[in-house]
Amino acid sequence: MEKNARARELRTRMAELFDLPADLVAGLTHMELLGDRQFFLEGHGGILSYSDAQIDVSAGGTVVRVRGGGLELRSMTGDAVRIRGRIDAVEFVR
pLDDT tens-digit readout, 26-77: 667 889 999 999 999 998 999 999 999 999 999 978 899 999 999 999 999 9
Domain formed by 29-93, architecture: Sandwich (2.60)
What is each CA distance from 36 to 25, 69, 70, in whole angstroms? Answer: 28, 11, 12
Classify 11 as helix, strand or coil: helix
Domain boundaries, the chain: 29-93
pTM of the model: 0.75
* pLDDT tens-place string over residues 11-39: 777 777 777 666 666 667 889 999 999 99
